[in-house]
């Protein structure tokens, strides 16, 4: 059995017994996570260097983390878990209480695995912080779709910075590969880069999944939020122009980073992965579900 097949088997074994864990969560984590590790060619054929595959334990932990992010996204979107089961995961992520369900126990085991391999306590603290923010952002989007909460466009974008999960992914990579993101975040220019990267990802995701979200009555989409105030085609045009503006801001942010800066490379990989992912209209955007089944970070 090849190493990717072995890892896929390990991921499926980890997910066994978790409500709603699918082969898709494992296979897409393996595919996307491998690009962060090994790199990917840009549209001009230039190789964007990945973070490295020399540490297999770190690589496996990272891809497992990605699989659990996909699964948690679908737990909200497809209403897989009861409310008390979701609450149990949130409490584990925030460190408020011990695990009280199988799903919370599995997430606690994942956090323990990441903590054991983290290069610094500060970076692991950001893993926990960004993971909690991701959970709360998904919860807020679920409340928006169910009518339990209203959001202005500004509030939706602010929440979307966390719901796209880019910060959680970068925190995990930094903790496992010693990139010191907790230190880098002290720089205002770097924080701006992170914000623009997340906003670009959120708006790209929303534009790609718009028809699906509209069909499934999922209100957690930038265009649908704007349509409350600007109906029809102008709402779509507005969000498309917003995306172009944030892309220009992100381009400038990336130009200010050194060419070999690992976070610049990771941002380039993020952008290339989305180009490849969206161009093929993969299954996560085609299969109808109970609510807005959207990829969290691709």
The DSSP annotation for 207-244 comes to HHTHHHHHHTT---SHHHHHTTTS-SHHHHHHHHHHHH
**What H or E segment, with its residue span, contains residue 40?**
strand 39-41
Quote the pLDDT of residue 232.
Answer: 84
The predicted-structure confidence for 167-185, as pLDDT tens digits, reads as follows: 999 999 999 999 999 999 9
The predicted-structure confidence for 24-74, as pLDDT tens digits, reads as follows: 999 999 999 999 999 999 989 999 999 998 889 999 999 999 999 999 999
- Residue-wise DSSP of 167-217: HHHHHHHHHHHT--HHHHTTSHHHHHHHHHHHHHHHHHHHHHTHHHHHHTT
Predicted TM-score (pTM) of the model is: 0.91
Helix axes 166-177, 102-117, angle to 10 degrees: 50
**Contact between residue 106 and residue 81 where contact means Cβ atoms under 8 Å apart:** no
**Contact between residue 126 and residue 182 where contact means Cβ atoms under 8 Å apart:** yes
The predicted-structure confidence for 199-229, as pLDDT tens digits, reads as follows: 999 999 999 999 999 998 899 999 999 999 9
Quote the pLDDT of residue 280.
Answer: 65
Quote the pLDDT of residue 1.
Answer: 64
Quote the pLDDT of residue 298.
Answer: 47
Quote the pLDDT of residue 283.
Answer: 47
Quote the pLDDT of residue 291.
Answer: 36
State how far the Cα of 206 lies from the Cα of 297, in Å rounded to an integer.
11
Bridge partners of 212, per DSSP, are none
Closest among 215, 121, 220 to 174, alpha carbons compared = 121
pLDDT at 288 over 50: no
Alpha carbon separation from 256 to 155, 187, 270 (Å, rounded): 28, 12, 18
Quote the pLDDT of residue 282.
Answer: 47
**Contact between residue 130 and residue 167 where contact means Cβ atoms under 8 Å apart:** yes
pLDDT at 186 over 60: yes
Closest among 114, 78, 119, 21 to 294, alpha carbons compared = 78
pLDDT at 289 over 60: no
Closest among 86, 2, 78 to 293, alpha carbons compared = 78
State how far the Cα of 87 lies from the Cα of 159, in Å rounded to an integer.
19
Average pLDDT of every residue of the chain: 91
State how far the Cα of 288 lies from the Cα of 226, in Å rounded to an integer.
24
Q: What is the dihedral of CA 101, 104, 106, 109, to 10 degrees?
A: -120
When pLDDT is averaged across residues 149-160 and rounded to a whole number, the result is 97
The predicted-structure confidence for 97-135, as pLDDT tens digits, reads as follows: 788 999 999 999 999 999 999 999 999 999 999 999 999
**Contact between residue 77 and residue 290 where contact means Cβ atoms under 8 Å apart:** yes
When pLDDT is averaged across residues 229-257 and rounded to a whole number, the result is 96
The predicted-structure confidence for 249-280, as pLDDT tens digits, reads as follows: 999 999 999 999 999 999 999 999 988 877 76
């Amino acid at each position: 059995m090849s190493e990717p097949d072995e890892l896929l088997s390990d991921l499926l074994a980890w997910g066994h017994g978790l409500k709603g864990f699918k082969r898709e969560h494992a296979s897409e984590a393996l595919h996307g996570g491998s690009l962060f590790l090994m790199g990917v060619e840009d549209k001009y054929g230039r190789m964007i260097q990945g973070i490295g595959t020399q540490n297999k334990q770190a690589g496996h932990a990272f891809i497992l983390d990605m699989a659990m992010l996909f699964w948690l996204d679908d737990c909200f979107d497809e209403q897989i878990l009861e409310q008390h089961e979701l609450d149990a995961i949130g409490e584990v992520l925030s460190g408020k209480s011990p695990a009280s369900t199988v799903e919370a126990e599995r997430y606690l085991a994942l956090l323990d695995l990441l903590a054991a391999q983290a290069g610094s306590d500060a970076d692991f603290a950001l893993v926990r912080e960004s993971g909690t923010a991701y959970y709360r952002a998904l919860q807020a989007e679920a409340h928006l779709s169910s009518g339990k909460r209203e959001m202005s466009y500004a509030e939706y974008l602010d929440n979307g910075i966390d719901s796209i999960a880019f910060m959680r992914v970068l925190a995990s990579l930094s903790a496992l590969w010693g990139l010191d993101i907790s230190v880098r975040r002290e720089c205002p220019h770097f924080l701006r880069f992170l914000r623009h990267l997340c906003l670009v990802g959120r708006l790209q995701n929303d534009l790609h999944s718009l028809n699906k979200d509209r069909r499934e009555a999922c209100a957690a989409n930038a265009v649908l939020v704007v349509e409350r105030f600007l109906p029809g085609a102008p709402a779509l045009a507005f969000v498309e122009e917003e995306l172009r503006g944030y892309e220009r801001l992100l381009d400038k942010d990336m130009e200010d980073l050194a060419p070999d800066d690992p976070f610049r490379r990771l941002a380039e990989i993020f952008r290339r992965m989305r180009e490849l992912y969206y161009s093929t209209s993969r299954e996560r955007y085609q299969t109808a579900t109970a609510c807005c089944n959207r990829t969290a970070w691709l």
